[in-house]
Amino acid sequence: MRIIFTFLFFSLFISLTWSQNLVPNPSFEASNRRPAAMLDDGIEFTRAVPGWVSPNRASSDFITSRFRSSKVLKMPPHTGDNMIGVVVQGAHWAEYVSAKLKEPLEVGKKYYVEFWISAPPSYNKNPTGTPLFNDHFGIRFDKKLYFTDTKIIEKKPQIIAQSGNRLEPKIWKKINGSFVATEAHTHIYIGQFFNQTKPEDIIECYFFIDDIFVEKLEKEAEQFEPSKSYKIKGKVASIVMENIYFETDKYDLLPESFQELNKLVNIMQRNPTMTINIKGHTDSEGDVTHNQKLSENRANSVYNYLVQQGINASRLSHEGHGLSQPIAANTTAEGRQKNRRVEFVTKSQDTIGQGIIMTDIAYDFSKNIKNSALQLSNIGKDERHWNCANFPIQEDNVTPEYQKVLKSFSQYKPTAADKFILSKTQDSKIVHLQTSSFYPEQQMFILGILNELQQQGFNYIGLENLKKIDQLNQSGYPILENGRAFQHPIYGEIIRQGKDLGFQFFNLSPTETETKKALNILRKNKFSFQDQPPKAGAQIWAKAMNINRILKKDPNAKILLLSNNVDEQTKGKPSTIGFWLKKLGGNEVLSIGQSPTYQPCAKTQTPLTKKMKISRPSIFQKRNIVLIPLEFRSDGKAIPVHDIHIYHPKNSFPNNRPAYLQNGNRKPYDLNIDKFNMSYPCLVFAYKKGEDVNKAIPLDVIERSDNQDDTPLILASGTYEIVLRDGKKRKKMEIQVP
């Protein structure tokens, strides 16, 4: 299976990347014959490889799967099945390869050029080492050259390896560059050329060469400055920054916070008219007065740090809000952690782009966000890049009931989750579906059934902490101001496709005013919260009321709720959305949970998920019984926490991207950013053409760590605007994905 996939990907790679390549047979996949050994002279090489010759009759090698040699240890080609080998043994013997270009170079036009090179660990029993490239090794464009001897060619190449670059055996390295053609050259030559001023400057080595690429740059990426195209004069932007840490119940900044705050310092230095109001917040644990003072002190600590870094104090203000402005329920550790935060509110008096600020915070370079799994996911750095020391790991509670499930698990059979879910949602009016920001595969599953849900009559989607709904309805696509939770491209795509399908979106989370009103009503009616914090219970009642208003206004409404917590069973706490909707209007809620079968940050899978051998999202059934995680009440009784549960398989990573992204009409698109003179690391954003790249949530984001990194974008067919961002500049261009 792996061989088939490799072939398919190679074909795709060729069609997307090499469509404008001026080099014939650039990866040496076409052949007239496949030698089984090293070649004796250049004529043999020319006869074997269509489009290529040995210009000085030296015996360059054509290396295929049949190749065997006691002198050189073969390694896998960079792509495909074939590559070539050349040896340089000083000025008296140097091998080259040459080809006639598909068309002559145009004088005055700029060309981008690259090739890939590696070496065996030794040649003829002599270790390769790590030789340093020189400025006469690379690609030369010239007229037709032909020699009858094997000596080194006395020319200087236009494309050379960067100064100080070393050749690492068994590792493929890209050599690339751009130049403006001064003559209508017709041929390309690759190898070591002679430097008359430094005749000793020769790499004596055996090289592997693959994937040569020459392209005329018809239109380069343009310099892009968001601040010139998106003004926020007179408007306010609110920013929540992660990774700002204090010791428990203290207000001294921990060193881990400096990296995050330095990003804000850089932004303020680039935008000298920007002012910041620093707001401190706490969770609900502890005394109200104490929390108020603690939040003020924490905001003051951040203020002092920014002043110490050179930000003028006149541009800063600070205040504390204690526990009065939660953004999540204080009933869970996760919710309390979200509420312990520092918020920055900025107001600019000129053309500073809010898009700059929000984009830079949402999508930062991995070196700056290495402790944030959520932000790493936003830039295409999946679970393989997470710092598991900062990731919560939930272990199974091995109870007698759990043991019973383990023993009987062989009776449960997996079935495709999408078909099963759609068979149950057909007759449902309200569906509550779990989605966690930590697991984009859950969002991808929802995206995969969204069209079918719309066909079943679902016409509303409720999202937690959804902001700026009016702007969403006006633009028709997701924007960064909708909230932090939706900054992942897949979650943004749920909103984008939902709008295209005609869904109406609403904020499932109540406002602070709605929560206070709900709490007063419930207390007035002497509602028993049992062991549930009253404010948390009131928030759930307010959520249910938001939904109930829609149902009263629109009798044909069918509602999809997306949130992290879908535990609709009582668990000893009567206040759930399902409880209130049934009490208020007799409406039942179909609750659906999702979880991975493999925890990337756990040492092992759980005893139960080890038994789950699945390759797609699945439901496990034993006759009419569906396997669902159990919750244990205070009386020791185990109950299922929701109606249905979806289990996701362990992720695989073809093309260096998660497999779940590459479903349907989405496919890898390799964008060669070296053509655009960007430094590394470099962030690559793909936006739908016509959307405002200053404010839209991108369809995909990746980070390229260096020019050996070939991580592709994952995009459907269409026209896109691409924004490149390195540490100093941005560039923008348009691409067409076939």
Q: Which residues pair with 507 in a beta bridge?
A: 463
> Is the pLDDT at 296 greater than 50, yes or no?
yes
- Please state which CATH number belongs to domain 400-648: 3.40.50
CA of residue 593 relative to chain centroid, distance: 24
Mean pLDDT of 263-277: 77
Instruction: Indicate the fold that domain 18-216 takes in CATH.
Output: Jelly Rolls (2.60.120)
> Is the pLDDT at 327 greater than 50, yes or no?
yes
> Is the pLDDT at 616 greater than 60, yes or no?
yes
Coil, strand or helix at 646: strand
Same fold, 226-390 and 400-648: no
> Is the pLDDT at 91 greater than 80, yes or no?
no
**pLDDT for res 434:** 93
> Is the pLDDT at 13 greater than 60, yes or no?
no
- Give the separation between CA 612 and CA 614, rounded to whole angstroms: 6
> Is the pLDDT at 92 greater than 60, yes or no?
yes
Token pair of 439 as six digits: 């697991």
Confidence tier at 243 by pLDDT (50, 70, 90): low
**pLDDT for res 146:** 73
**pLDDT for res 395:** 60
Helix axes 534-553, 512-524, angle to 10 degrees: 100
Token pair of 582 as six digits: 């049934």
Mention every residue, 6+ apart, whose C-beta is less than 8 A from residue 624. none
Q: How many CB atoms lie within 10 A of CB 349?
A: 11
**pLDDT for res 552:** 92
Lowest mean pLDDT, pick from 428-442, 519-533, 709-723: 519-533
Residue with tokens 């930590």: 438
Mean pLDDT of 671-689: 92
> Is the pLDDT at 364 greater than 70, yes or no?
yes
**Cα atoms found within 13 Å of the Cα of residue 437, Cβ hemisphere only:** 19
Coil, strand or helix at 683: strand
**What rounded mean pLDDT belongs to the chain?**
84
The residues spanned by each domain of the chain are 18-216, 226-390, 400-648, 661-737
Q: Among 47-51, 534-538, 691-695, which range has the highest average pLDDT?
A: 47-51
Q: Parallel, antiparallel, or unpaired: how do β-strands 430-434 and 504-507 relate? A: unpaired
**pLDDT for res 489:** 95
Percent of the chain at pLDDT above 70?
Answer: 89
**pLDDT for res 571:** 46
**pLDDT for res 11:** 34
> Is the pLDDT at 693 greater than 90, yes or no?
no
Q: Among 365-369, 512-516, 657-661, which range has the highest average pLDDT?
A: 657-661
> Is the pLDDT at 230 greater than 70, yes or no?
no
> Is the pLDDT at 267 greater than 60, yes or no?
yes
**pLDDT for res 478:** 94
- Give the separation between CA 244 and CA 256, rounded to whole angstroms: 7
Confidence tier at 473 by pLDDT (50, 70, 90): confident
Lowest mean pLDDT, pick from 88-102, 200-214, 267-281, 501-515: 267-281
Mention every residue, 6+ apart, whose C-beta is less than 8 A from residue 375. 242, 362, 363, 364, 369
> Is the pLDDT at 234 greater than 70, yes or no?
no
**pLDDT for res 202:** 87
Superfamily for 226-390? Answer: OmpA-like domain (3.30.1330.60)
Structural contact between residues 449 and 458, judged by C-beta atoms closer than 8 angstroms: no
Q: How many CB atoms lie within 10 A of CB 640?
A: 18
Token pair of 466 as six digits: 């959804």
**pLDDT for res 226:** 60
Architecture per CATH, domain 661-737, reads as: Sandwich (2.60)
